[in-house]
Amino acid sequence: MRASSITFSAVALLPAVLGQLSGSVGPLTTTTSKAAKTCDVTKYGAKADKTTDLGPPLQSAWAACASGGTVVIPTGDYAMSTWVTLKNGKKVAIQLDGVIYRTGTANGNMIMVRDTSDFEMFSSTGKGAIQGLGYEFHKNDVRSNTPRLLRFYKVTDFSLHDISLVDAPLFHFVLDTCTNGEVYNMAVQGGDWGGLDGIDVWSNNIWIHDVMVSNKDECVTVKSPSKNILIENIYCNWSGGCAIGSLGLNTAISSIHYRNIYTWKSNQMMMIKDNGGSGYVEDVVFENFIGHSNAYAANIDQYWSSMSSLGSTGAQLSNITYKNWKGTQADGSSRGYLKAVCSNSKPCTDITLTDIAMWTETGSKMVNQCQSGYGTGSCLKKGTSTVSYAVTKVTETAAPTGYSAASMPNNLKTGWNRSSSIPIPTIPTSYFPGATPIKKVAGM
């Protein structure tokens, strides 16, 4: 039995958890077994003085424990001016109980873990964090050529949990070409500015759950290539919202399941974004969404103006289900709960809307729009066809039964100011109304 994992021998017991996963996720061996050998960074020159560079001691501690053991970053405040690439590990963990403060200015990735298997990165107290101090760049309108906080590349059978990622100069966490992973019990808190993504994933067989993201760009977003991704219990708290894309050339995305997604004061609840890409997105489920004060709800835009056209016909979107959506939007007359602007060259097929109860916070109508989209619900044309059609609008003037939905108690009243330091949050004890974390939060 894997540590911190779900195995498919448990299918009969845990059908609600498995979703679109294709197999087990998480480390192969237990946290306890990895702790049989520890490599404390303070034994390699690290000091919790917020001045001494953590980079070289962390690299040395990893080298000592990479073949089996736990790298320990104890409680305290650590400066990091040299970025590290931690690679070729097996049966290894990083226990981050302290706070790492970015002091270097290079671009790239502060911490990159790559080509590693049976890996765990966690805080035993729930107070471990990486503080990127991105505001030091953002106050001068600088965002490009700045560092990401954390990147996993070709990591297999792993978990990341009970850690906060704060104020990234660029992206917070990237899962790149990983397999059989679990990410949970996390808070990501970034500036109120585009380009400061929370979690971006392009991988296979990944379970992301119980995560809060506050920023103004991607909340938890799937990119290409991806397959068998389950994302649930996500709190997009004053964010850009969740998304699939932007879709590039030769997109390959399938078997994606988002469920129990709560979105507050964000750009959208869920968006699929494309402009002249190619390939496919298929077999996708968006289930149990609650939203309040968002600009868009369900938004498909294959002519998305915020990206330059890639010159192809657009990716083929098929078998996409929206199920059990509730709540309110900021202005339904400007943006209804459905915007499905599909490629005229490759119309969307098999889009299904069921149990949608959304209403507007301004005015008394919802105006949905569709273009070249086929399926069931609102302005979608019935059937399956490759024939394009111009924008069609459907106006709803009566509030649907059951649109009222619960709110989370910690909704932000404003986004985080990008000209001053962003505080390190406490790991939440709930990420979706009425739901408790699937796994116990560390330190609780």
Q: Which of these is catalytic: 161, 197, 292, 301?
A: 292
What is the Cα 29 distance to its own chain's centre?
Answer: 26
Quick one: 205 exposed, middle or buried, by C-beta within 10 A (0-12, 13-18, 19+)? buried
Cα of first residue to Cα of last residue in the chain, in angstroms, is 25
How far are the Cα atoms of 208, 238, 313, 367, 397 from residue 392, in angstroms, in the given order?
36, 31, 21, 10, 17
Q: Is 186 within 8 Å of 119 (Cβ atoms)?
A: no
Q: For CA atoms 315, 259, 263, 367, give the dihedral sign.
A: positive
Q: Is 411 within 8 Å of 401 (Cβ atoms)?
A: no
What is the Cα 268 distance to its own chain's centre?
Answer: 14
217 is catalytic: yes
What is the Cα 12 distance to its own chain's centre?
Answer: 28
Query: 419 φ, ψ to 5°?
Result: -110, 5
Can you count the helices (H) and strands (E) in the chain? 4, 25
How far are the Cα atoms of 19, 30, 286, 424 from residue 11, in angstroms, in the given order?
10, 22, 21, 38
Number of Cβ atoms within 10 Å of the Cβ of 330: 17
CA angle 55, 192, 235 (to 5 degrees): 85
- CA max distance for the chain: 67
Q: Which of these is catalytic: 167, 217, 283, 301?
A: 217
Quick one: 55 exposed, middle or buried, by C-beta within 10 A (0-12, 13-18, 19+)? buried
Q: What dihedral angle (degrees, nearest 10) is formed by the CA atoms of 167, 170, 175, 177?
A: -170
Quick one: 404 exposed, middle or buried, by C-beta within 10 A (0-12, 13-18, 19+)? exposed
C-alpha 287/C-alpha 95 separation (Å) is: 34
C-alpha 211/C-alpha 206 separation (Å) is: 14
162 is catalytic: no
Q: Which of 129, 97, 101 lies closest to 424, judged by CA?
A: 129
**To which H or E segment does residue 437 belong?**
none
Q: Which residues are catalytic?
A: 217, 292
